[in-house]
Chains A and B, each alone.
Chain A
Amino acid sequence: MKTDIKNVRNIGISAHIDSGKTTLTERILFYTRRIHTVHDVKGKDGVGATMDSMELEKERGITIASAATFCQWRDNQINIIDTPGHVDFTIEVERALRVLDGAILVLCAVGGVQSQSITVDQQMKRYQVPSLAFINKCDRSGADPSRVTKQIKEKLGHNAVVMQIPIGLEADFQGVIDLVTMKAVYFEGETGENLRIEEIPKDLSAAAMEKREELIDAASMFSDELMEAALEDRVTKDLLILAIRKGAMAREITPVFMGSAYKNKGVQPLLDAVADLLPCPGDVNNQALDMENDEEPVNLETDSNKPLVAFVFKLEDGQYGQLTYIRVYQGNIAKGKTIINTKSGKKIKIGRICRMHANQMEDIDSISAGFIGALFGIDCSSGDTLVDSELSLTMTSMFVPQPVISLAIVPDNNKSQINMAKALNRFTKEDPTFKTYVDEDTSETIIEGMGELHLEVYVERMKREYSAQVATGKPRVAYKETITQKAEFNYTHKKQTGGAGQFGRVAGYLMPINVESDESGFIFESKITGGSIPTQFIPACEKGFKKCLIKGPKMEFPVTGIKIVIDDGASHSVDSSEMAFQAAARGAFLEGYAKAKPIILEPIMKVVVETPTEFHGPVIATLNQRRGIIIGAQDEGPICIVESQVPLAEMFGYSTVLRSSTQGKAQFTMEFNSYKEVPHSIAKELLTKAEKAKK
């Protein structure tokens, strides 16, 4: 890789479902000559888009794993991560954004800023990723880029500035007017590869002038030179681009482009904008934490001669063995070099290095600072940091949401069991939101994840990629238990008849705490004075309490939001032991818990449905029937967006219900919102079910 770092762009393409981001990526690869033909996502030719490399993705027309690819535009090397749009796979988006320097936010010219666009935008904010907006599907009926631009301002709070205006719209969409050069751009040829640059059509020149003024106004906030030039009416292209770039990099301007990827219009100017307006790795300030210096932040320099700091953002176990996707922030990784995984402390010798183009790859010798690439045969997890031996830095860890749904899976035969274990091992390494464990009582393997579709996709992949035939149980909601009031306990565990005796007394109280204030949901505090419980047994008490939290006494759900304080106790010089105090803690917990008014909590999901307005009523009814609280209904002209909070337990099979009540015209997204108390009637039902299951 000899490209100058100034010419490198690491970008992501994120958007709402069906906004056309995979099609856009496909066109980008075509125009940059990485591929030689274009295929549609749900194309009749049966080939599918290049980025949707997994069979399943091709079949469902969705993108699941973010494939990394690179391409060359003008003198620039652009590394693209194609990110999934469905909320169930948000962790992929988060990981992608973590390593990107810039992003293209694709919006549908008809749908506008949709619920998922808001989610991805929040993620971009979290990682301070500068972005460009691309209003796609301008050829569709109902397309209205100016409405979408307004929504970017209002709903996302961006300072959206249009860089182009459309020439014609809907079926009449012909091209765009570039407000920087003040030229009309038409896209000709079978695949829009020939650009015809002409003077602006007369009927659009006034509108173009007006929008250009707005653009210069907004950009001049970031450049005094431009402001002066604007006053003297001598604005040049370079001056304007430089000012916009400055604003965009500070996330204070969001340049808006438009086109139709499917109709091969507007993609090349977007690529120019990626090169002109988005930052290179050297422009972005990246920080790592110094493990030896109390996690003090350290600035990293995009310099290949400095010691190495690289971040593992994705693992993939494909036909070539395990692939580890990394981004090098500082230094350089080369074949034969020995590096260290900060988390495990293990030394790693670098074997093969490559860069990926969807599922094909190209061998290279090294990856320099600022670049994205992949390594072979490295044992690590996603989120790990790789460094040179003299450093002990770690990149900030990523935010990983807790799973909300689980499913029991049973392999059909022995062979499937072996394959299933292999598959689970790989999936859990690849995806931190996907978890698995064996239920001690039923010996079933349980998989946990972020939604029904999330788990469904993994079960499918198990079958297809590992030939592991598994039967699945009914999805189960991750209920939790908590207490609602303070309660005291004073319990003596005594077993002093025959054999070695056991004695321990534990007294204190338990009280509810706000889970948000402590993520683990459990605080243990010892206020023991005077040695009523000898110091060496206090950890045993904590261990005893912790064990009780795994399966709550009320309904065997994990207990959360609880603080346990012990302030008194008693011990016996011979009969007290760690085991005795663990047992005493268990007894004490059960005693206190029963008095602390325990309740069941259930996950509440934020469900956003987008529906044609004529189905507004039926959609609200379907949510209402599911114990949903309707937060509001947003009228967006032809479509209406209904926002609600619905318990996850009521959402199983919702997609079928929604489809049948809206003639398949509505779509919904769902993401975790909070845990709330289960209503009494439902709690009773759960209790009856649990009792039946016990019998």
Chain B
Amino acid sequence: MNTNVKERNEKMIEKELLLKNPLHVLKRSTEDILPKCGFGAVLARAGVGKTSLMVQIALNTLLQSKNVLHISLNDPVNKVVLWYEEVFKNVSKEYDTKMVNNLWEIALTHRFIMTFQVEGFSVPKLEERLEDLIEQAIFFPHMVLIDGLVFDDSIHQPLLDLKELAKKLDVNFWFAVQTHREDKHAPSGLPNRLVQLKDLFDVAILLKSEGKNVHLQLLKGSDQNIDPANLSLDPSTMLINSI
């Protein structure tokens, strides 16, 4: 296989992987769903698939050769790595292993995982760490994912601080937000306790487990006229069942 054909093949797989991503259905293009310095949230009850979807959002960006910083406040680095391997394996299993491996190797260079203990996490600390990386030209994120942040009454100020950080660094942030059985919901579909934070977010996606499928409901942002029936995900891979 000459180099051009190989490159073309890799590009093709890359494109197909991007097309299968649920984000594509939301935006109808593979461009970033968030505006500049925007905030996105993936809401779901425990165990429905927040992390899996977040990892897909990250892969979507990684495959565009953009840097992703994944911050986990729950899991150790090894476990986060496993999430990526698992999701990538699922989305790429139909393709030539060697090509896929090459894509994966490239994607790895664009990913940085940071883990904190929930109680040890603070915005100034994150900023300090990021500055370390940026100043030494080691890593400059295009997107930051935060998984495990507790959205309780005290979250408003840290989110404002993160918004400042997003502007300063010119990056997008995605958050995994855990909802609870006892949450009461506003007409927008958002849990009441998060309504006051609504303005901070540009996109909010709710994952709901219904029967054998996981449904994806767009609570805020992007093309809101999408038929929700289309947005069912296979819970084992979190990929779209059919478009």
Closest to B81 in A: A631
B81, B114, B117, B136: the one within 8 Å of A633 (CB): B114
Shortest C-beta distance, A453 to chain B (Å), equals 24
Q: B residues within 8 Å of A by Cβ? A: 1, 70, 75-78, 80-81, 97, 105, 108-109, 112-117, 120-121, 125, 129, 132-133, 135-136, 138-139
Contact A632 B77 (CB under 8 A): yes
Closest to A616 in B: B132
Q: How many residues of A contact B (CB 8 A)?
A: 22
Assess A631 versus B133: contact at CB under 8 Å? Given A485-B1, A637-B117, A637-B120.
no
Assess A633 versus B115: contact at CB under 8 Å? Given A485-B1, A616-B132, A620-B133.
yes
Contact A631 B77 (CB under 8 A): yes
Known A630-B112, A630-B139, A633-B77; 12 more pairs at CB < 8 Å: A617-B132, A624-B138, A630-B138, A631-B113, A632-B70, A632-B81, A632-B112, A633-B112, A633-B114, A634-B76, A635-B117, A643-B78
B115, B117, B136: the one within 8 Å of A621 (CB): B136
Most chain A beta-carbon contacts within 10 A, residue among B115, B120, B125:
B115
Residues of B close to A620: CB separation below 8 A: 132-133, 136, 138
Contact B133 A635 (CB under 8 A): no
Bound Cα distance from A633 to B120, whole angstroms: 14
Q: Does A348 contact B (CB under 8 A)?
A: no
Contact B115 A617 (CB under 8 A): no
A621, A641, A676: the one within 8 Å of B138 (CB): A621
Contact A634 B115 (CB under 8 A): yes
Closest to A621 in B: B136
Contact A643 B136 (CB under 8 A): no
Contact B76 A155 (CB under 8 A): yes
Bound Cα distance from A348 to B215, whole angstroms: 70
Contact B109 A629 (CB under 8 A): yes
Contact string against B for A residues 566-590, beta-carbon threshold 8 Å, 1 for contact and 0 otherwise: 0000000000000000000000000
Bound Cα distance from A286 to B242, whole angstroms: 51
Q: Does A636 contact B (CB under 8 A)?
A: yes
Instruction: Give 25 pairs: A residue, B residue, CB < 8 Å, sorted on A.
Output: A154-B75, A154-B76, A485-B1, A514-B97, A616-B132, A617-B132, A617-B133, A617-B135, A620-B133, A621-B136, A630-B112, A630-B139, A631-B113, A632-B113, A632-B114, A633-B113, A633-B114, A634-B114, A634-B115, A635-B114, A635-B116, A635-B117, A635-B120, A635-B129, A636-B117
Residues of B close to A637: CB separation below 8 A: 117, 120
Bound Cα distance from A635 to B76, whole angstroms: 9
Bound Cα distance from A616 to B135, whole angstroms: 13
Shortest C-beta distance, A688 to chain B (Å), equals 23
Residues of B close to A629: CB separation below 8 A: 108-109
Contact A643 B77 (CB under 8 A): yes
Bound Cα distance from A485 to B2, whole angstroms: 10
Residues of A close to B133: CB separation below 8 A: 617, 620
* Among all A-B residue pairs, the 3 with the closest Cβ atoms: A632-B113, A617-B132, A632-B77
Bound Cα distance from A631 to B77, whole angstroms: 8
